[in-house]
Structure 1
Amino acid sequence: MSKILIVEDEQAMLIGLHDNLEFEGYEVDTASRGDDGLKKILTGGFDLVLLDVMLPGLSGFDVCKKARAGGIDTPIILLTARGEELDKVLGLELGADDYVTKPFSLRELLARIKVILRRAGNGTPSGSSFLTIGQIQVSFDAYEAKTLNGDVVKMSHKEFEILHYLHRQTGRIVTRDDILDQVWGMDYQPTARTVDNFIVRLRTKIDTDESQHIITVHGVGYKLVL
C-alpha cells in the first residue's frame, strides 16, 4: 500500500483529500504547517507528497527545497492556487515532480498520483539492469542511480525521465521543446529555462572535468554522447 503525505492548511481541503485518498486504498498522513510537513518528509517512509504552496511556518517552495537538499527524492506534487507561470516553473526548478492548480478535479489529481507512483515503482523490479552513463550507473526500470563504486546517487524523477529520453536518443540532437513535450507533456507549461536547469543538475552527476556526455548544441538543444 502506497503511503501519501498531505501538507495542506485549509482544513476542508485536507479532510476531503484525506478521506478520498483513503477510500482509494492509500495510507494517508497529514500536516497543516510547512515546518511540520518538512519534519515528516525528512523522516522518510512516504511514497508521494501532496504539498500546498501557501502554508504557515514554511512555504511549500521552501519545504520542497529543503527536502531535496536533505537528500529526499520522494515524488512531490505541488498544490497551488496561483496561476502564474513563474510560480509553476519555480516549483519544478526546486525539485517538484508535478503541480496541480486549484481548483482541480479529484479525478485529475488521482490520475496524476497514479502516474507518478507507477513511474516510481516499489523498489527495484526483478531483472532490472544498470546502464553506465558517464560516472554513474542508472536503472531506468527502478529509478535508481549509483556511482561506479556502488554509492547511491540522489536523482529526482524528472532527472531520471530527462536522462532516459536523452539515452533513447543517444547521439541525436534533441531540442528543449522535444524534452518538454516528452517529459512534461503538452498540457504543462514549464519553460526552456527549466530544462536548462535540470540539465545542469544532471551534468554535475554524470560528467567529469575530463569527460562530458551531455553536449550543448548551441541554438538547438542537447545531445547525449556515450
Structure 2
Amino acid sequence: MWYVIVTCRTLSWTLTSLLSSMIMLSALLSPQWLLGKGENSIGVYTRCMEKQRTNMLQCTTLATRGLATDAEVFPTEWKIATVFISIGLTIMFVSVVMSFAACCFQSIFKKSLFTTTGAAQTIAGIFYILALTLHPMAWNATRVVKLCDNSSPFYPGHCAIGLGLWLALAGTGLTFLAAMLSMPADKSTNSDKVQDRIYEGHSLICLL
C-alpha cells in the first residue's frame, strides 16, 4: 500500500532545496558579480556595458562560442566555474524532484531516499564552493582589469561586489542547509506518530 507522508520537516527540506536552486540559478544568470564604473558589470559568463554614444546598457554573454571561447574573452577559470555551477544546479533540481517523490516512498534500493539525496546536495554545495573560489582567481584577466582598475586575484580593485556574487554565496549556504535538513526530514517520516497513523489505516498523513 502506498502512503503519502508530509511533515513540517519534509516540507522545510523541499522548500529549502527549491529556494537554494532558484537563488543559484539567478546568480549564474546575473551579470552583476562585479560592479564597475557607471552601470558596467560582469558576472560568471555574462556582462553589461554602457554604450558611451547612446548611454544605453547592453548585456551580452562572454561565452560567444561556449567553452571554446578564447580565454582572453571568457577566462578559463570562469569556464570551469560555469560548468561546476551547472553540475551543482543539475544535482539540486534532481534533488527537488526526489524530495517531492519522498512523500510517497522513503527508500530507494533499500537506502533512505532522504539521506541519499542529502549526500548529493552536499556534493552540489562542494561544486558551488569550487566555483566561488575559481571566480576571483580570474580577477587579473584583461577585461576585469579594464573594468575594475588594478584588480588582481581575490582583489576586486575599484569594483564593488555585486548582487550576483551575494546570491551565489546565499545559494551555497542554503544548499548545505538543505543537505542538513534531509536528516531530520528522514526521522520525521519514521516517527511514532506516523506509524500510528499508518496502523489506523490512513494513506494520507500530514503532521506538523
Tell me if TM exceeds 0.5. no
Larger radius of gyration: 2
Higher strand share: 1
- TM category, shorter: under 0.3
TM-score w.r.t. length of structure 1: 0.24
- TM value normalised by structure 2: 0.25
